[in-house]
Amino acid sequence: MDNQRRTPASPYAFPSPSNALLYLVLTLLWSWAFLLIVILRGDDAEQWSTWLLRLLSGLGPFLVALGMMVKFVDEEGVRTFFARSFKWRGIPWGVLAVSVLLQPLLVLLSLLTARVFSGAFPRLDSPATWLSQPLSLLGLVVLTFFFGPLPEELGWRGYALPRLQYRWGSLPASLGLGLVWILWHLPLFFIPGTYQADLGFASLRFWIYSLNLITQSILLTALMNASRGATLTAVLFHYMTNLSGEFFAVPLQVEMIWAGWTSLLALAVSLNWLWRKNKSLPLYTSLVRKLSSQAGIAHILARSLPTLDRWWFRLSDEKQTLTSLLADVPVVMVTTIGAKSRQARTTPLLPIIDPSQPQRIALIATNFGQERYPSWYFNLKKNPQAECLINKEHRKYLAREVEGEEYAHYWQLAEKTFFGYRLYRQRIRTRHIPIVLLEPMDCDATEGGG
């Protein structure tokens, strides 16, 4: 087979599309056969026979894939398949971090979103219950990994996805696999006592569940492609999705918000795939920037993003923040002295740089378009000395507020750097937006700027 059909979006695709389609049909038949026995017998999920039949059904995606690889020899053999599936060396640390942490972070973001709109955090009883029963929690942590994520992802994403991507591309393969994933789970809605049966067939939660399978299929494809086919990333993401759902057991309102955030991410990934067919610049970057400028989202980001940025900055060994990763904008870590606390406070901020004077850093005190001034502005008004971390070097600066023509000059540069500043200015009506200029305190840097 000719390898020119492979694209950067599917760097590990294999030329066996007919086998992939046959795999999907055989997997559905295998898994449905065992679940149909349970349904016809009228058994519930608590019976031992049901548990055994569900186990055989759940192993279907992996066992059928194994049989297909033995029967139909294609570009990838069984040994290579397992080596690719469980490799962890060479996977970018950021991809592993997203695989493990994205879903718990989305749960926390959904809880915070619910609080913003309702004024109070939703009540969660499940985490306290699990933590009070350590043996049950241990069982949940272990069993959730081996019964579901591991055998499913070895088949869906490990075997089927690379072969579907070869023929269809990333987005169609993800959507097709997501629809098959919904069909694969369908019989579980008719077995009393299962998680799916408790949701209720054709209920609101049923549709949320189905939407989640589609959006997660898109995100799983993105992780697989980013790791060049390491199925371990898909297993970990699937595992953390199930574990987060069981551990937090969020109410319906938060579940809908969680599905909304997941859908936004999946939409961004999908648009990026479509954009990259003919363009070199990722569309998702523009989408992230536009979303972050909207009033409701900016309100949430003003309270959560600095903490997330500091956490990601430490995790990346001081190489980047979450903002710089997602929105592709520069971010500098600025340390000020608290106006009241007199304690050091480090804040990730977007620097505005004049190319003719690159040693100077302008900071725009919009606070994501909020009516309140950012705390770092008061800190610099009280104590104008600041320290910035640039390329792992700590540099000292002296702050002053600009006015007049200098203010207009830096505001123009700010709008060119990030269009959201124009929207922030439209929303802020009760206060002036200060611009603070940081100038290096060492003479050499000042003179070198010309």
- CA–CA dist 340, 288 (Å, integer): 35
State whether 259 and 177 are in the same domain.
Answer: yes
Q: Which residues contact 94 (CB under 8 A, 6 or more apart)?
A: 316, 325
CB 149 within 8 A of CB 235: yes
Q: How far is CA 263 from CA 6, 102, 270, 306, 331, in A?
A: 27, 13, 10, 23, 27
Reported as a single tens digit per residue, the pLDDT across 265-305 is 999 888 878 766 545 445 556 666 666 666 667 777 777 77
**Which residue among 265, 287, 321 closes a domain?**
265
> Based on the domain organization, do 210 and 310 belong to the same domain?
no
Q: In the structure, what pLDDT confidence band is assigned to residue 12 with cuts at 50, 70 and 90? A: low
* 324 shares its domain with 229: no
* Cα gap 1→16, rounded to integer Å: 9
Asked whether residue 210 falls in the same domain as residue 313, the answer is no
Is residue 145 domain-shared with residue 66, that is, in the same domain? Answer: yes
Nearest-angstrom CA–CA distance, 69 and 189: 31
Average pLDDT (69-81) is 76
Does 137 score more than 70 pLDDT?
A: yes
Tell whether 115 is covered by a domain: no
Model confidence at 449: pLDDT above 60 = no
And the tokens for 124? 């969660």
Q: Domain tally for the chain? A: 2
Residue 199 lies in a domain: yes
370, amino acid identity: Q
* Inside any domain, residue 114: no
* pLDDT interval class at 111 (50, 70, 90): very high
Residue 365 in contact with residue 433, Cβ under 8 Å? yes
Same domain? 163 vs 307: no
Domain residue limits at 395: 297-448
**In the listed set 246, 265, 284, which residue is the last one of a domain according to the structure?**
265
Whether 121 is in a domain gets the answer no
Q: Are 225 and 276 in contact (CB under 8 A)?
A: no
Q: Mean pLDDT check: name the lowest of 183-187, 299-303, 412-416.
A: 299-303
Tokens of 342: 């007199």
Structure confidence by residue, pLDDT tens digits, 205-261: 999 999 999 999 999 999 999 898 899 999 999 999 999 999 999 999 999 999 999
260 in the same domain as 302: no
Same domain, 350 and 244: no
> Residue 113 domain-assigned?
no
For residues 72 and 185, membership in a common domain is answered with yes
The answer on 7 and 103 residing in a single domain is yes
> Does residue 346 belong to any structural domain of this protein?
yes
Closest CA to 297 of 113, 106, 104: 113
Pairwise CA distance, residues 58 & 151, whole Å: 7
**Does any domain span residue 285?**
no
Quickly tell me which residue has 């972070």 as its tokens: 105
Q: CA 304, CA 109: separation in Å to the nearest integer?
A: 8
Residues 348 and 444 in one domain: yes
pLDDT at 18: 61
Give a yes or no: residue 272 inside a domain. no
Q: Residue 159 in 3-state DSSP?
A: helix
**343 shares a domain with 260:** no
Report the CATH number at residue 436: 2.30.110.10
Give the model's confidence band at 446: pLDDT under 50 very low, under 70 low, under 90 confident, else very high. very low
Residue 245 is predicted with a pLDDT of 95
Give me the residue label for tokens 């709008």. 415
**Whether the Cβ atoms of residue 258 and residue 328 lie closer than 8 Å to each other:** no
Q: Out of 265, 285, 319, pick the residue that ends a domain.
A: 265
> Residue 20's closest CA among 151, 175, 155?
155
Is 176 a residue whose pLDDT tops 50?
yes
Supply the pLDDT for residue 69. Answer: 86
Mean predicted confidence (pLDDT) in 366-370: 88
Determine the 3-state secondary structure of 271 from DSSP. Answer: helix
